[in-house]
Chains A and B, each alone.
Chain A
Amino acid sequence: MSNTSENPKPSSSSAKMTLKTSDNELFEVEEAVAMKFCTVKQYFEDEKDSDVAARGSTTVIPLPNVHSAVLATLISYGKKLPQSNAVADNHEEEETKKKERKKYEQGLLKNLMPGELLDLISAANYLDFKEGLEFFNQALADHIQNKSVEYVRKFFGIKNDYEPHEEEKYREEYAWAFEGVDED
């Protein structure tokens, strides 16, 4: 899956772009999906301006801050989103697609480790992938909702850098929030 994009159905734009990750893996992606990554879009438009468009599909866009596994997930999520250039579907097809997307999203989140989620958010931010950022931010928010301090530390992988008296002071300040919290 990592080297070629799955493309069983014909899309209106068959132009493909190649993205190169930090670990030197190449991903061939449909233009419609790649354009959702605004950073890529900007890079592509800058290339066009400098009249290199003739080389089109052979342009390799480097993404030094993104690991291949992360990019694969982002691309696969991008494909599930409604495409801006897709033919307008009737209501039933739209509903089916929505359900499929929801199922995919649930499956994706179930198997995700906290560290991977942070990687995805960081990458989506770098790529300026708005829909992806929104989705993963929400997923993270849902995950830490109503959880204890220890859980938040474990989740973000952070060390407690407070002095004991400082921590006590803050816990007292926010004491109102700590009843009814999942210890998990």
Chain B
Amino acid sequence: MEHHMCHLKELSRDILADIFVRTDGSTLASAACACCELHDVARDQSLWRQLCQATWPSTALEEAQHVISSSPIGGFDKFYAYSYPLILHAKGTKPMPFKCPELKTHVSPSELASLVDVYYRKECVLSKVLDGIPEAMNFSHAKDSEYNWNMNSNDCWRWYSNCPFKLELLSLDYDKFTGFYNELSYANNENDNHCHGLDANDEGRGFPSTSGVDDENLRHDYSMELMESLRLSWVLLDKKNGRSVNLSSWKPLLVQKTWPFHGVYLIHFGSIVAVEESLLPHKLSKCIIIVRCKMTEGEGCPKWMEISMQMEDLTGASVSGSKGLMVLNHALNCLQSSNHLEVEQGFHQYEKKRREMMKKKQFRETLIDSFCVTIEITVLVVFCYYFFSF
């Protein structure tokens, strides 16, 4: 044992740093709690910076360096600690926040930045940084710039805050990726679902799945492969308060082949954020990261068509822009966990709750409908009785 004790002291800081840079943040954190010497090694910010850049290559981009260094986050170790765990939705979690006692009532879009990384087959294939929310800040950034109205920032904000929340990272024309207009096939069999994932029962997306027609034999179904190989991280950074959070579920929640564009897949990632009842009914919001990509045989990597974020409440209704920003603010302060299994269970619970709620709603509506119909028939019968008895 004594012989071993010499070894740690014999290994220089440089060697220990070289060893730890090959691991990950959790390992470095374990080492920091082991003894004083390793704690000193773990205080090295350049080590944490390298770990951040290895985990999220977007942090190595110039815009990211600028955004992170100008925020009061306090170092790359804090950034790693905030961004590594995922948002946890657990039964019995109080919807009120939890780490930060004051929640701002108004979050400005310019105070937020997004660092997004997409991984395919364990390699990072796309990294992008988005400073602020362009749609909310400057109308000329909006996609439909042919409508070149001269909106000032107040009008822009008013427009954004009342429209459904959307944060667009990447969006390309569908025309570039289609060309299959002659090959439209009609979804005859809606039960023949090509959906995979936790949201597999969710039919309300407006994209009926493709049926297994013969020419599909030419096109391989990449749904399972995407489910297993695609990963996404969306780190939201609050530049003003120096906090960050990972809004993604890391693994896809849903992978679906869209129709009528063959070879185009719709993938969802996201998180469940608990909010106050005054903000949203049912106190829950789902942050959905939508990825649309095209898979072609022979090409190793998906072609990205769209990466954006939307929000909805428990009923499936879209959340407005201003409320969406409040939800993001809650997300920055909510419960997190590095245990991915727990996070997945949270999603299952949410979906279960949602289905129960939809069932109740449907039952209530059916009941009301039946009641109304009964009243109408009764009124009609009584009316006819009196009418014909005279």
| Residues of A in contact with B (beta carbons under 8 Å apart) | 114-115, 118-119, 121-122, 125, 133, 137-138, 140-142, 144-149, 151-153, 156-162, 167, 170-171, 174, 176-181
> Which residues of chain B are near A178, meaning CB under 8 Å?
26, 29-30, 338
CB closest chain-A residue, reference B82: A176
Question: 0/1 per residue, B311-349, Cβ < 8 Å to A?
Answer: 000000000000000000000000011111110000000
**A158 vs B337: C-alpha distance in the bound complex, in angstroms?**
29
**A179 vs B30: C-alpha distance in the bound complex, in angstroms?**
11
**A76 vs B381: C-alpha distance in the bound complex, in angstroms?**
101
Question: Which of chain B's residues 30-86 have a Cβ closer than 8 Å to chain A?
Answer: 30-39, 81, 84-85
Q: Given the known A-B contacts A115-B4, A146-B27, are A160 and B338 also in contact in the complex, defined by CB atoms under 8 Å?
A: no
Question: 0/1 per residue, B1-16, Cβ < 8 Å to A?
Answer: 1011101101110010
Q: Is B24 an interface residue (CB 8 A)?
A: yes
CB closest chain-A residue, reference B88: A179
Q: Given the known A-B contacts A115-B3, A170-B39, A177-B84, are A158 and B34 also in contact in the complex, defined by CB atoms under 8 Å?
A: yes
> Which residues of chain A are near B12, meaning CB under 8 Å?
125
New contact pairs (15) apart from A141-B20, A157-B4, CB-CB < 8 Å: A115-B7, A121-B19, A125-B15, A137-B15, A137-B19, A141-B27, A144-B23, A145-B27, A151-B30, A152-B31, A157-B8, A162-B35, A177-B84, A178-B338, A180-B339
Determine how close the nearest CB of chain A comes to the CB of B154; give it in whole angstroms. Answer: 40
Q: Is B25 an interface residue (CB 8 A)?
A: yes
Determine how close the nearest CB of chain B comes to the CB of A116; give it in whole angstroms. Answer: 10
- Looking at chain A's contact residues, is the secondary structure mostly helix, strand, loop, or mixed? helix
> Which residues of chain B are near A122, meaning CB under 8 Å?
7, 10-11
Determine how close the nearest CB of chain A comes to the CB of B241; give it in whole angstroms. Answer: 18
**A170 vs B36: C-alpha distance in the bound complex, in angstroms?**
11
Determine how close the nearest CB of chain B comes to the CB of A143; give it in whole angstroms. Answer: 10
Q: Check B10–A177 contact: CB distance below 8 A.
A: no
Q: Check B22–A138 contact: CB distance below 8 A.
A: yes
Q: Given the known A-B contacts A147-B27, A170-B32, A177-B29, are A158 and B338 also in contact in the complex, defined by CB atoms under 8 Å?
A: no
> Which residues of chain B are near A153, meaning CB under 8 Å?
34-35
**A142 vs B24: C-alpha distance in the bound complex, in angstroms?**
10
Q: Can you show 23 pairs from A to B with CB atoms below 8 A apart? A: A114-B4, A115-B4, A115-B7, A118-B7, A122-B10, A137-B15, A146-B27, A148-B30, A149-B34, A152-B34, A156-B34, A157-B5, A158-B5, A158-B8, A159-B5, A174-B29, A176-B29, A176-B84, A177-B338, A178-B26, A179-B85, A180-B338, A181-B26
Q: Check A176–B81 contact: CB distance below 8 A.
A: yes
Q: Check B23–A141 contact: CB distance below 8 A.
A: yes
> Which residues of chain A are near B84, meaning CB under 8 Å?
176-177
> Which residues of chain B are near A157, meaning CB under 8 Å?
1, 3-5, 7-8
Q: Is B297 an interface residue (CB 8 A)?
A: no
> Which residues of chain A are near B1, meaning CB under 8 Å?
157
Q: Check B24–A145 contact: CB distance below 8 A.
A: yes
Residue from A115, A119, A138, A144 within 8 A of B27 (CB atoms): A144
Closest 6 CB pairs of A and B: A157-B4, A177-B29, A141-B22, A174-B29, A177-B26, A179-B339
> Which residues of chain A are near B365, meaning CB under 8 Å?
none
The size class of the interface chain B forms with chain A is: 35 or more
Using a Cβ cutoff of 8 Å, how many contacts connect chains A and B? 124
Q: Is B18 an interface residue (CB 8 A)?
A: yes
Q: Check B15–A121 contact: CB distance below 8 A.
A: yes
> Which residues of chain A are near B342, meaning CB under 8 Å?
179
Q: Check B19–A174 contact: CB distance below 8 A.
A: no
> Which residues of chain B are near A125, meaning CB under 8 Å?
11-12, 15
Q: Check B5–A180 contact: CB distance below 8 A.
A: no
Residue from A146, A149, A174, A176 within 8 A of B336 (CB atoms): A176
**A180 vs B81: C-alpha distance in the bound complex, in angstroms?**
15
**A157 vs B38: C-alpha distance in the bound complex, in angstroms?**
12
Determine how close the nearest CB of chain A comes to the CB of B86; give it in whole angstroms. Answer: 10
Determine how close the nearest CB of chain B comes to the CB of A63; give it in whole angstroms. Answer: 15
CB closest chain-B residue, reference A151: B30
Q: Check B7–A119 contact: CB distance below 8 A.
A: yes
> Which residues of chain A are near B35, meaning CB under 8 Å?
153, 158-162
> Which residues of chain B are near A174, meaning CB under 8 Å?
29-30, 32-33, 81
**A174 vs B7: C-alpha distance in the bound complex, in angstroms?**
25
> Which residues of chain A are near B337, meaning CB under 8 Å?
179
CB closest chain-B residue, reference A144: B27
> Which residues of chain B are near A138, meaning CB under 8 Å?
22
Determine how close the nearest CB of chain B comes to the CB of A145; give it in whole angstroms. Answer: 5
> Which residues of chain B are near A158, meaning CB under 8 Å?
4-5, 8, 34-35, 37-38
**A141 vs B8: C-alpha distance in the bound complex, in angstroms?**
14
CB closest chain-B residue, reference A172: B33
Q: Check A161–B33 contact: CB distance below 8 A.
A: no
Residue from B3, B33, B85 within 8 A of A176 (CB atoms): B85
Determine how close the nearest CB of chain B comes to the CB of A167; give it in whole angstroms. Answer: 7
> Which residues of chain A are near B30, meaning CB under 8 Å?
144, 147-149, 151-152, 174, 177-178, 181
Q: Check B38–A152 contact: CB distance below 8 A.
A: yes
CB closest chain-B residue, reference A156: B8
